[in-house]
Amino acid sequence: MDAVYGAGKAGGAFDPITFFLQPQTILRLVSWIFSIVIFGCIANEGYINRPNEVEEYCIFNRNQNACNYGVFMGSMAFLCCMAFLALDVYFPQISSVKDRKKAVLADIGVSAFWSFMWFVGFCFLESQPVDNPLREGGDAARAAITFSFFSIFTWAGQSFLAFQRYKLGADSALFSQDYTDPSQDAAGAPYTSFGGDNLESPGGGGGQTNSEGAFDGTGGYQRQDY
């Protein structure tokens, strides 16, 4: 199968250099790193307590939902990036055009969903004032907000690239279905003999007599003297 939906023929050798230089791979790795940063910042330094308190509260306006949202989003985005990286590695081995189409459509939908969720998360975290009386964890909170904002664009970029692959793949699939090789079309056409009905097949009798009769001058051929 020719190149369809951004990959070459199925069964080709895996080239790690080409794979890691692909734009979608770079964006997935960047999103993967951002998810680790967001998860680590909130899980490690997102919970603080006052000097006269024992219980720890979320640094984002003491709202536990804000920290829980950030931790959940970071961990799930991490797993999602790993899953799609594995799919990208396996994608060239998929021989079915329909399966490739499903994978690309899933990439479009999931990436667009995560871009929207990170937009919601950024707005949610940004709206929560940082409660940091001891000035501990403030940098981690700001880092989580910043990388949540960046994640909006990295996931949106993945969705855009997947949509480009879908458009290219749809055109390629349509071409492969409608295209007919001229050499194959000519080979499949019935063969017409030169002499028309005057010539018989080699297996029939009288082939030599008909051949002589076809060139005895009665068929319209006139000899020219020079």
Nearest Cα to Cα of residue 95 among 176, 21, 157: 176
Report the alpha-carbon distance of residue 99 to residue 113 in Å, rounded: 21
Binned at pLDDT 50, 70 and 90, residue 176 comes out as: very low
CA distances to 21, 25, 89, 154, 194 from 16, in Å? 9, 11, 9, 22, 57
Report the alpha-carbon distance of residue 179 to residue 173 in Å, rounded: 10
Instruction: Assess contact for 28 and 88: CB atoms under 8 A.
Output: yes
Tell which wins on pLDDT, 161 or 190: 161
Q: What is the pLDDT of residues 107-165, one digit of tens each?
A: 999 999 999 999 999 999 999 888 776 677 788 999 999 999 999 999 999 999 999 99
Hey, is 204 helix, strand or coil?
coil
Hey, is 190 helix, strand or coil?
coil
Q: What is the pLDDT of residues 27-73, one digit of tens each?
A: 999 999 999 999 999 999 888 887 777 788 898 988 999 999 999 99
Binned at pLDDT 50, 70 and 90, residue 21 comes out as: very high
Binned at pLDDT 50, 70 and 90, residue 1 comes out as: very low
Other Cβ atoms less than 10 A from the Cβ of 215: the count is: 10
For 107, the token pair is 């990439």
Hey, is 130 helix, strand or coil?
strand
Report the alpha-carbon distance of residue 103 to residue 20 in Å, rounded: 19
pTM of the model: 0.70
DSSP string spanning 134-155? T--SHHHHHHHHHHHHHHHHHH
DSSP string spanning 26-90? HHHHHHHHHHHHHHHHHHHHSEE--TT--S-EETBTT-HHHHHHHHHHHHHHHHHHHHHHHHHHH
Domains of the chain by residue range? 16-173
